[in-house]
Amino acid sequence: MSDRIPHSPPSLTFVSEDAVAAQIEGHREDCLDLVRRAYLTHDGGDSVNPQSGFLRFPDRPRARIISLPAYLGGEFGVAGLKWIASFPDNPRTHGIPRASAVLLLNDVVTGYPAACLESSVISATRTAASAVLAAETLSGGRTARRVGIVGTGLIARHVWTFLRDLKWDIGGFTLHDLNPEAAHAFGSELVAEGAPGFTVADDVAEAFTECDLVVLTTVAGEPHIHDPKLLDHAPLVLHLSLRDLGPDLVLAAQNITDDTDHAVRERTSLHLAEQATGGRDFITGTLADVLLGKVRTDPSRPVVFSPFGLGVLDLAVGSWVHERARAAGTGRVVDDFFASTVTTK
């Protein structure tokens, strides 16, 4: 006789983009705290975060799909996989966004998938939360005399909503985008939502000068910003797109990452700087190091935060969204998804 205890088949919950967004809206302070706790759990060693896998296409070198598997322990106790596609030609050729993603969450006891969530919003949320957490931690507050934003797409909008909802005191914005019309449209959105004002810069250098906080959210595949003098006034640069800065500029700054082994690969600006110098001495530490007081940055020198984007952050935000959506009844539960594969004999 088998000693297995019969169980009903596990259910699978699907959470749509609108349902995900509904849980995040109005709760960005909570998301910031989730990301902080996830970083500290990861730093404490209670996580497994393998290197991201890059699926590339021979006939479309700019397109890629990235897999981010991870396990986050501690208070979270969740495993899963983010599968995120970046097809930069989508807006021009198909009229749809560049990025699309799903997040699959697994039950850590049985291994069965428990939820499938639309994840472009989760991914953008954890990226923006990470960025604004870094900005607050590294600057010591929620104030910026002027914010420069290079690339005015989806991630820039999510960074703005965090700055807005966390009530940052900002004197103004300088915006730069390869499409000036997009920059103007973004600026109009900022003003409509309470921003004090904006200018659109014709040259990317103008988004650095006079700005004490600079946010880089482009789709650049190779460095296009090379002059270290752009950092002479010691700004804080949130290098979210990872490949905008030339090695000379990286080497002129104090460099903070989310995880050094993850961030120094795949021809990121940090990776190119490593290749140029033969080492990683130019990296000051991780954001968790700063949060824990293990590393202190010099406010008289520029700081560049380059987060590769850890899968554990997606798990932290995604599992929180899943629980809230289930409680709100906005997740579509399929009770018999695994019915034919589960035996109770």
Domains assigned to the chain: 12-121+311-339 (3.30.1780.10), 125-306 (3.40.50.720)
**H and E: helices and strands count for the chain:** 11, 18
Task: Look at residue 114 and tell me whether its pLDDT is greater than 70.
Answer: yes
Distance CA 246, CA 211 (A): 19
Q: How far is it, in rounded angstroms, from Cα 79 to Cα 69?
A: 8
**What does the pLDDT average to over 172-181?**
96
CA angle 188, 190, 192 (to 5 degrees): 70
Q: Give percent of the chain above pLDDT 70.
A: 96
The verdict on pTM exceeding 0.95 is no
Hey, what are 269's tokens?
A: 């600006």
**1 pLDDT higher than 50:** no
pLDDT at 343: 53
**Residue 345 clears pLDDT 50, i.e. is over it:** no
Q: Is the pLDDT of residue 4 over 80?
A: no
